[in-house]
C-alpha cells in the first residue's frame, strides 16, 4: 500500500532539489555509507532520549521501538554495502544535523522539545529523500528505500507528537522556526555530498 507523503510535504518547507538526486546517483557509495551512519545516529539519539527523560512512559515506548527499527535498518544498509564491495570508510561530519542541533535551547523542558522537533525534521527529510531518489535506483535499493518509507514516516510523527505533548502552541512555533531554518540547509550549496546535504 503506497505511503501518503502529504503530511511530510506539508511539514517540510521545500522539496529536495533535483541537483541533489543527480549528485546522489554519482555517489552511491557515499550515499550508502552515510545512510548507515544516519541509522546509527538515529538509534543513538533515541537511546539518549530514553536515558535523559526516563520518567515519560510514552517517550520510552516510542523511542525503544524507534531504536530497534533504526538498528535493523542499519544492519540492512550494512549488508547492502558489503554485498556491493563498497569499502567502509569514515566520513567527515556534515553540516545538516549539526547545524539544526546548534539551535536547540539549553534549558529544560525547552531542550527536550527542540530535540524532539529536530528529530522529527530529520526523519521527515529522510522519508522525503527515500521517496525522491527511489525511482532512479536499481531494483534492490529501490525496494529497500520504499520499504523504509513506512517506518520513517511514523518516526517523524512520533517525535512531533511527543514535542506537542509538552506544550502544543510552543511546539508549533518552534517547528516553524526549525523548518524555516532547514530550508536553507537543503537549498544552499554544500561543500560535500551527504544523505542530508544541500545542493
Q: Which pLDDT does position 149 carry in this prediction?
A: 87
Q: Which fold has domain 17-187?
A: Ferritin (1.20.1260)
Q: Which pLDDT does position 1 carry in this prediction?
A: 46
3-class DSSP string for the chain: CCCCCHHHHHHCCCCCCHHHHHHHHHCHHHHHHHHHHHHHHHHHHHHHHHHHCCCCHHHHHHHHHHHHHHHHHHHHHHHHHHHCCCCCCCCCCCHHHHHHHCCCCCCCCHHHHHHHHHHHHHHHHHHHHHHHHHHHCCHHHHHHHHHHHHHHHHHHHHHHHHHHHHCHHHHHHHHHHHHHHHHHHHHCCCCCCCCCCCC
Q: Which pLDDT does position 151 carry in this prediction?
A: 80
Q: Given a cut of 90, is residue 3 above it in pLDDT?
A: no
Q: Which pLDDT does position 2 carry in this prediction?
A: 63
Q: Which pLDDT does position 152 carry in this prediction?
A: 82
What does the pLDDT average to over 163-180?
97
Domain positions in the chain are: 17-187
Amino acid at each position: 500500500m503506497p505511503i501518503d507523503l502529504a503530511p511530510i510535504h506539508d511539514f517540510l518547507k521545500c522539496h529536495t532539489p533535483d541537483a541533489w538526486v543527480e549528485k546522489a546517483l554519482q555517489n552511491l557509495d557515499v550515499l550508502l555509507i552515510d545512510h548507515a551512519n544516519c541509522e546509527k545516529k538515529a538509534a543513538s539519539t533515541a537511546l539518549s532520549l530514553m536515558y535523559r527523560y526516563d520518567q515519560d512512559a510514552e517517550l520510552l515506548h516510542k523511542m525503544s521501538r524507534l531504536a530497534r527499527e533504526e538498528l535493523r535498518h542499519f544492519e540492512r544498509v550494512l549488508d547492502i554495502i558489503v554485498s556491493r564491495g563498497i569499502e567502509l570508510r569514515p566520513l567527515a561530519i556534515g553540516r545538516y544535523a549539526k547545524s539544526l542541533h546548534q539551535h536547540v535551547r539549553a534549558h529544560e523542558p525547552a531542550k527536550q522539545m527542540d530535540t524532539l522537533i529536530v528529530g522529527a525534521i530529520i526523519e521527515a527529510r529522510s522519508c522525503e529523500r527515500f521517496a525522491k531518489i527511489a525511482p532512479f535506483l536499481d531494483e534492490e535499493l529501490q525496494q529497500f528505500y520504499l520499504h523504509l518509507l513506512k517506518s520513517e514516516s511514523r518516526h517523524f510523527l512520533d517525535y512531533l507528537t511527543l514535542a506537542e505533548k509538552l506544550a502544543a502552541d510552543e511546539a508549533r512555533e518552534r517547528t516553524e522556526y526549525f523548518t524555516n531554518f532547514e530550508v536553507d540547509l537543503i537549498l544552499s550549496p554544500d561543500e560535500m555530498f551527504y544523505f542530508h546535504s544541500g545542493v
